[in-house]
Amino acid sequence: MGKHAKNTFIDGKGKEHKKYRDDNRLTKAFYEYELARLQEELVKLQYWVKEKGLKVAIVFEGRGSAGKGGVIKRITERMNSRIARVVALPKPTDREKTQWWFQRYAAQLPAAGEIVLFDRSWYNRSNVEWVMGFATEAQVQEFLRSCPEFERMLVRSGIILLKYWFSVSYEEQRRRFESRNRTPLKRWKLSEMDLEEHRLFVQYSKAKDMTFKYTDIKQAPWYVVPSDDKKKARLNCIHHILSQIPYEDVVPDPVKLPDMEKEAYIRPPLEDQTFVPQVY
């Protein structure tokens, strides 16, 4: 089986399945089994963050279609949205354009007991804005000087800062864009910016390399997630997040549900209410 010494696993029902297909991609059974297991651990992490008052900020960056949204969706799928929230800011308003660059992102940082997942972040300046010409060279250089100090301040303040770059090849990005283009239900995900980004693929590579040169710092290093295989990327990223924040299982025990309190009350007839048609 190649590099996989053991290519089978036992699921929760005691059945044996293959982990990898012949093309080295994960089988659906193994992916879903591992995802469920990791999501259970994320819930444990959530309780720990809340109980200990931790502040966690996770940055997700990368090219369009690299899989950032997919992994964020799987991370938050089973979590409490009041504890783990997603920040995906739109383009800045005219007023925000006059603010300190980090200002509107700083307002979204976690308080005690919160996990904030940034679907793109302050790194827009040295990536999208630089490549597309939305920022001047002076603005980009100032960002590259300021960003490491900004992130060191976050870490010193007690924020756990994790930064992930989802790396997708030109060929895989093209395949995903073509799939979106063919599928009416996905076509809304293919924007003019995506088309420009694909055309300027090499420029984005330069932007990423420049960003890493200045901001891959000891206090807040970049972690690269190869994402041509989405399933592997999701599992590897979630597994790494769990490994970076020591936690214990403090999930509360099941509670006893109370019985309904008796009260003399007669409800109005059901016929007085308007129900949706029972089509299904």
| DSSP code per residue over 240-276 | HHHHHS-----PPPPPPPPPPPP----PPPGGGSPPP
Dump pLDDT digits (tens) for 17-26: 889 998 989 9
Q: Which of 147, 100, 105, 95 is nearest to 126 (CA)?
A: 147
Percent of the chain with pLDDT over 70: 98
CATH class of domain segment(s) 52-229: alpha beta
d(CA 227, CA 234): 8
Question: Looking at residue 54, what is its pLDDT?
Answer: 98
d(CA 157, CA 3): 43
**Could you tell me which residue, 86 or 16, shows the higher pLDDT?**
86
**E strand or H helix at 189, and its extent?**
none
3-state secondary structure of 25: coil
For 28, 92, 144, the CA distances from 88, given in Å and listed in that order, are 29, 12, 21
Question: Looking at residue 22, what is its pLDDT?
Answer: 87
Dump pLDDT digits (tens) for 115-170: 999 999 999 999 999 999 999 999 999 999 999 999 999 999 999 999 999 999 99
**Across all residues in the chain, what is the average pLDDT?**
95
Query: Average pLDDT in the 24-30 region?
Result: 92
Question: Looking at residue 1, what is its pLDDT?
Answer: 40
Please state the domain extents for the chain.
52-229
- pLDDT higher than threshold 60 for residue 2: no
Q: Which residues on neighbouring strands pair with residue 166, listed in sequence order?
A: 62, 225
**Could you tell me which residue, 15 or 213, shows the higher pLDDT?**
213
Query: Average pLDDT in the 181-195 region?
Result: 91
Query: Average pLDDT in the 210-231 region?
Result: 98
Question: Looking at residue 81, what is its pLDDT?
Answer: 96
Q: Tell me the pairing of strands 159-167 and 55-62.
A: parallel
**Helices (H) then strands (E): counts for the chain:** 10, 7
3-state secondary structure of 48: helix
Question: Looking at residue 3, what is its pLDDT?
Answer: 59
**In the numeric block, which tokens belong to residue 183?**
């599928």
| DSSP code per residue over 74-142 | HHHTTS-TTTEEEE---SPPHHHHTS-TTHHHHTTS--TTEEEEEES-GGGTTTHHHHHT-S-HHHHHH
Question: Looking at residue 215, what is its pLDDT?
Answer: 98
Lowest mean pLDDT across 5-9, 119-123, 178-182: 5-9
**Cα-Cα-Cα-Cα dihedral sign, residues 190, 192, 194, 196:** positive
Lowest mean pLDDT across 10-14, 161-165, 178-182: 10-14
Q: Which of 27, 28, 20 is nearest to 3 (CA)?
A: 20
Query: Average pLDDT in the 50-74 region?
Result: 97
Note the pTM of the prediction, 2 decimals: 0.93
Query: Average pLDDT in the 85-90 region?
Result: 97
Q: Which of 272, 230, 211, 182 is nearest to 66 (CA)?
A: 230
For 167, 168, 224, the CA distances from 227, given in Å and listed in that order, are 6, 5, 9
2 burial (CB, 10 Å; 0-12 / 13-18 / 19+) is: exposed
Question: Looking at residue 58, what is its pLDDT?
Answer: 98
